[in-house]
Homo-oligomer: A and B are copies of this chain.
Amino acid sequence: MIDRTRGYYNEKSETMSREEREVYKKERLSEILQYGYEHSKFVRSLLIKAGLRPEEIKELKDLEKLPITKKADLVKAQKENPPFGGFETLSGKNLKRIYISPGPVFEPGERDYRDIRWAQALYASGIREGDIVLNTFNYHLTPLALMLDESLQMIGATVVPVGPGNISMLIQLMRELKVTGYIGTPSFLMAIVDAAEGMGLNLQKEIHLQTAFVGAEMFPESLRQKLEGKLHILIQQGYGTVDVGCLGYECREKKGMHIPEDVIVEIVDTETGKQLEMGATGEIVATNFIKAFPMIRFATGDLSYLIEEPCPCGRTSFRLGKILGRTDQVTKVSGIFIHPWQVDEIMHKFPMVANYQVVVTRKEYRDAMSLYIELKEEVSDPHTLKRRLEREVEETLKVKGEVIFT
C-alpha cells in the first residue's frame, strides 16, 4: 500500500520559513506588476488609477493601495476591449488554449506556463505516481478539468478523462481498470457511491478507490464523514476559481486549506478593501502570477478567514478556513451586515432546529427581521426556546429578530 500521508509535491517551497515565503511572494508580485504594467492595459490602468508605479508596491500590505477587481469588472473590460479586456499580453502563438468562464469571460492560457498549484493540491490529497485517476470534471470550456489533467500527469498519475458522464458506466470502468483515485465534485462522488450501493456492490472490495480530491462546490463536514465512512478512504478538498486557479488545498490533517506559494490570498473587508487581521472573516481576494492573464486583487465573492498556526503536516503556509458563504448572500438589517453563515452558526447550537428561513422586511423606514423556524419535533416549552433563540440572535448578529415557529 502506497503511503499517501507523507511527502510534498515540492518540499523546498512547501516547507520554507514564513519569512522566506513572504520574500518569495513579494518578488513574484513585483515581477507580475512590472510585467502587467508593461504588457497589460488592464493592469496598467489599475496602477494608474491608484497613482502608483509598480515599484511602489513593496510589501504584500501595499496591495491595499490597489483597487479590487470584481468579476463584473472583467466582463465589462472584455466587452470594451475584446476579446481579453486588455489582457492581450501574449501573441497568439504563445496561447495554448482559450477557456470560457461564465460571464462569459475569455481566459487566455499560456502555452509554456506550468501552474504547479493544482499538482501540489493533488499530491497533498494523497495522489501519487502510478495512480489511475478518474477525472469527472467537465473538460469543455472551463479550465479546471484540463488543468487537473495536466497536474495529474505532472505527478505521474494516469488520467481517465471521463467527464461527468453516465454513472453506471463509470462504475464499470472503476471496477475493470481498478481505478485508485477520484477527482470531481463531492456530490458526484456521493451519486457514484449511491449507485454502487444500489447495484449491491461491496464498496471496499469491488470499488478500489484509495483517495479522492473534491472541489468546485461546498463540501459539508457531514458529507465528508458519510463518504469517508462508506469508502474507508480520506477525502481532501481544494478551493479555487476559474479566473485565478487554485487558492487552497487540504493536506491529510484537514485543518484548513494550505495556500500555495504561487498566489497571494488576502482576506479583506468587502466595503473598504482593507486587509483584515488573522482569523477575521472577510472576502477572499487573490493575486496570481500568470503572465497570460494576471489577476491583481481579484474578488472571489467567497467568504473565509486565515489560519496562522503551524500545521502538523509540515507545510508552513498560512491556511484558508472553511468557505463560509458568498458575499452576495449578505443582507443589511438596520445598517448591519447579516451573513447566512452567521445564522448557520447560531442554529447549529440548537439541534432541534430542522430548517429555518430569514426574512427581512421594511416598514416605514424601519427594518424588521423574522426567523421562521421548523423544529424536528414538538418541544415541551416553546416559549423558553423562542426566548433563548432570540437572545442568541441578538447577541451574535447585534440585531433583534423575531422567532416564529412554523
Interface residues of A (CB under 8 A from B): 82-83, 91-93, 95-100, 104, 106, 111, 129-132, 139-141, 145-146, 149, 153, 156, 158-163, 165, 169, 172-173, 176-178
Contacts and interface: CB of A to CB of B under 8 A. Distances in A.
Contact of A93 (B82, B96, B156, B161): B156
A106 B141 contact: no
Contacts of A92: 129-132, 158
Contact of A146 (B93, B141, B161, B172): B161
A160 B156 CA distance: 26
A179 to B, nearest CB: 9
B83 A153 contact: no
8 contacts: A91-B130, A92-B130, A97-B158, A139-B140, A139-B146, A140-B162, A140-B163, A141-B161
Given A104-B172, A139-B161, A141-B162, 13 more contacts: A82-B176, A83-B176, A92-B158, A96-B153, A96-B159, A97-B159, A97-B160, A98-B158, A98-B160, A104-B176, A111-B153, A139-B140, A140-B163
A95 to B, nearest CB: 4
Given A162-B140, A173-B104, A178 B99 contact: no
Contacts of A161: 97, 99, 139-141, 146
Number of copies: 2
A130 B93 contact: yes
B178 A163 contact: no
A83 B180 CA distance: 14
A59 B139 CA distance: 43
A178 B84 CA distance: 12
A130 B169 CA distance: 38
Contact of A129 (B93, B129, B140, B146): B93
B140 A98 contact: no
A163 B165 CA distance: 14
Contacts of A99: 161
A111 B160 CA distance: 13
A147 to B, nearest CB: 11
Contacts of A177: 83, 98, 106
Nearest to A136: B140
Nearest to A134: B98
A173 B132 contact: no
Nearest to A99: B161
Nearest to A130: B92
Most buried by B among A141, A145, A172: A141
Contact of A176 (B106, B139, B156, B173): B106
Contacts of A141: 161-163, 165
A64 to B, nearest CB: 34
Contacts of A176: 82-83, 104, 106
A158 B96 contact: yes
Contacts of A106: 176-177
Contacts of A162: 100, 140-141
Contacts of A178: 83
A18 B224 CA distance: 63
A250 to B, nearest CB: 25
Contacts of A131: 92
Contacts of A111: 153
A79 B98 CA distance: 40
